[in-house]
Structure 1
Amino acid sequence: MQIKELRSLLFLPANRPAFIERAHERSADAVILDLEDAVLPEQKAEARLMVPRASAALAARGLTVLLRVNADPQAWCADLDAADLSKLKGVILPKVEAAAEVAALAEALNVMERRSACPWPLAVAALIESPLGVLRAAEIAQASERLCALGFGAEDYAACLGIPPEPDYLRWPAQQVANSARAFGLGCWGLADTVANMEDMARFEGAVREARNLGFTGSVAVHPRQVPPVNRGFSPTQAELEWALRVVAAAEAGRAQGKGVVRLDGRMVDQPLVDRAERWLRQRRMSQ
């Protein structure tokens, strides 16, 4: 599964070995070792030293491991210098407000990967968490060939505006980020709601469904119990899969007859519909 196609990404504080030891039981598509918000400022130096061992243990379990670094360039340099890049598949840069911030990280990775003989280029995801970041989302989405996804940080965005992190206030910025990401072929992670909700799972599941309808392709999770609804919510349903199979079959039959457009159940089946059906079938194959 490509990084941009991940559905669920479970945050793990880099300095909490107990969480890391059980991460393989959580069924997340990927795990994010976190050196940013989940680690207190006075604990960051120690947490950096724990990243190589943690990432090695997670990778040995077959997990896709990403590292969320700190936003400040001096801090993310220290974060990456301490890491074993060969055990990572990507880097998440938080609080991005300009394309130049992503470009600077990408250039630094070019140097670090050569120096450490990293066996693959690391993907980069940019978290957009402020009004300025939302306004510049389209520019940020074009910042680097390494960029695989944009993320929307609902909590930080709401805090910037002094508003509640609730859907009525977050749909517009969330959709701006999703539109920018998808316009340039990137994944988009997040919710138009708080991700910190660990009790009202009905609300959380509703937020996941809405995020998919807004164009998001996945979401982070801050608690293991959030992973199953994220995986379900960003996967095609059985009814959608059955519909997709019929659409693809109808399109193939039409092509065999020289028809670019066919009818199915009284509905026109053209290329955009076929593309959606094929995407759902591809998602199903990748998640199996």
Structure 2
Amino acid sequence: MEHSEKYLIRSLMFVPAHNEKLLNKASTSDADVLLLDIEDSVQPVANKAVARSNIKEYVSAGRFKDYLVFPRINDRESGQLLRDLTELTIDGVAGFMCPKSCKGEDVYFIDKLLETIEYEKGLPVGTFKLIPLIETAAAVLNAQDICTASTRVIAIAFGCEDYITDLQGIHDADGQSIQTARAMIAMAARANGVIPIDTVHIKVHDLVDLEKNLIYVKNLGYEGMLVLNPKELPLVHRYFTPTEEEIQSAETMLTLAKKAIEEGRGVAMIGTKFIGPPMVKAAAKTLAKARLVQSRVKSRVE
């Protein structure tokens, strides 16, 4: 299944779920996905109960009805995971971000917990989707396994800071130390019909550097980015939204390809360039993405 044609996941913004001020701010943001955090940014441990309570309250009140809500749960070694999943498998939550997903088994474990909870709550199995977070060298090498561990996986996201720490490398200014990981994650995702999501941009006030990174990862095939600050959203959306020129080109390409088939010609041409099957497929994906964006804009206006 081509998950990328069903979900609009250009921007995924982290929001510490114990912080009501930031939750209120997030409820008026332009992010596509809200990653309501119960993990790293929620300390001390006592605040994790506060975070879960806030998520239930805000979601139940319809404060996040215009967003895909994916709480970032605690990992399977934390002692908090069962509470996270039991309490937050509610209407209005689309799924969960899974941190420290080092291998497929980690994702499969959460899949089966969710399956049991869905049975208990009388919900269709598979209701809640997953976005594993790739944060270690092992996870990068196991990205293929992680993508295929559960049909719930709709995207995988890169966490570069933890990855560099695990690698015992240095996050250089040009990003050379994470280039290989970025490419491997994108390939694993696209090979399995899930969406590759790029790492956070740590220098949130340096929009020039953000744009440089967006250009690079879009060329690699990424479809979205983890976001720390709302000021990053306009630029992120600009690069992960089809332009008017791209939409018009895709429409022209599909029209010419269809006409060539109707007239019994094997291959269509646009100018002096042949329109091959890969180009037709890419054009269809562009228009599908444009429709998702239009639907998103319409829902926000209404």
Report the TM-score when normalising by structure 2: 0.88
Q: How does 1:61-140 map to 2 (within 5 A)?
A: 61-73=65-77, 74-118=79-123, 121-140=127-146
Where structure 2 has 5 or more consecutive residues not aligned to the other structure, the ranges are 295-302
Q: 1:4: how far off?
A: 4.5
Letter in 1 for 2:69: V
Distance 1:108 1:13, change over 3 A: same
> Which one of the candidate residues 227, 231, 254 is aligned to 1:221?
227
Distance 1:188 1:4, change over 3 A: farther
Q: 1:215: how far off?
A: 1.2
Alignment check: 8 A CA contact 1:188 1:215 kept = yes
Distance 1:54 1:196, change over 3 A: farther
- Residue 238 in structure 1 maps to residue 244 in structure 2: yes
Of all paired residues, the percent bearing the same amino acid is 28
> Which one of the candidate residues 47, 57, 79 is aligned to 1:53?
57
- The DSSP-based 3-state class of the residue aligned with 2:91 is helix
Match of residue 32 from structure 2: 29
Alignment check: 8 A CA contact 2:27 2:64 kept = no
Q: 1:49: how far off?
A: 2.8
Letter in 1 for 2:190: R
Match of residue 196 from structure 2: 188
CA distance in 2, matches of 1:40, 1:3: 35
CA distance in 2, matches of 1:122, 1:60: 16
- Residue 280 in structure 1 maps to residue 286 in structure 2: yes
Aligned residues: 286
Alignment check: 8 A CA contact 2:102 2:142 kept = yes
- The DSSP-based 3-state class of the residue aligned with 2:156 is strand
Distance 1:224 1:165, change over 3 A: farther
Alignment check: 8 A CA contact 1:85 1:116 kept = no
CA distance in 1, matches of 2:146, 2:89: 27
CA distance in 1, matches of 2:106, 2:172: 26
Letter in 2 for 1:91: F
RMSD of aligned Cα (Å): 1.9
1:137-177 CA-partner distances (Å, limit 9, x unpaired): 11111101111111111121122223115421111101101
Alignment check: 8 A CA contact 2:201 2:227 kept = yes
- The DSSP-based 3-state class of the residue aligned with 2:82 is helix
1:43-66 CA-partner distances (Å, limit 9, x unpaired): 223323322113324555432211
Where structure 1 has 5 or more consecutive residues not aligned to the other structure, the ranges are none
- The DSSP-based 3-state class of the residue aligned with 1:147 is coil
Report the TM-score when normalising by structure 1: 0.93
Alignment check: 8 A CA contact 2:7 2:292 kept = no
Distance 1:270 1:105, change over 3 A: same
- Residue 164 in structure 1 maps to residue 171 in structure 2: yes
- Greater CA deviation, 111-120 or 25-34? 111-120
CA distance in 2, matches of 1:58, 1:99: 34
Alignment check: 8 A CA contact 2:5 2:288 kept = no
Alignment check: 8 A CA contact 2:8 2:32 kept = no
Letter in 2 for 1:232: R
Alignment check: 8 A CA contact 2:204 2:232 kept = yes
Letter in 2 for 1:262: A
Runs of 4+ in 1 over 3 A off after TM superposition: 1-5, 57-61, 117-120
- Greater CA deviation, 22-31 or 38-47? 38-47
